[in-house]
Amino acid sequence: MLEIKELSAEGLETAASMLKAMAHPMRIAILKHLEGNKRLTVTQIHKLLGIEQSTTSHHLGILKDKGILCSKREGKNTYYYLKYEILSKIIDNLRTCACE
């Protein structure tokens, strides 16, 4: 039998905030491109998605602010990556549900 852990109000708020941040088509696309421990720059992401670099930066900022992404500066470039690789499973599950 599965043990259900108690969920704190703070934990639930954090989870809801993360889900709200991910609930945007461009942000879902960004997360898909970062699956598999990939690290990409703003320039690489904006070229992959075909959107303005400023728009890409805006979406990355939201995802980073909500604890979904991390970034690391290396020389002139800042690389973005999933803070928790397990978050990509949420996106996979959404895609599965939406494509059925």
Closest by CA position to 49, among listed 59, 39, 61, 62: 59
The overall average pLDDT reported for the chain is 89
State the pTM of this model.
Answer: 0.86
Distance of alpha carbon 26 from alpha carbon 28, whole angstroms: 5
For residues 100 and 21, the model is more confident at 21
For residue 34, pLDDT over 80 is answered with yes
Neighbours of 100 (CB within 10 A): 5
**pLDDT number for residue 72:** 97
Residue 20 has pLDDT above 90, yes or no: yes
Q: Which domains does the chain have, with CATH numbers?
A: 14-94 (1.10.10.10)
Q: DSSP 3-state assignment of 82?
A: strand
- Under the banding of pLDDT at 50, 70 and 90, the label for residue 50 is very high
DSSP H or E run through 20: helix 9-22
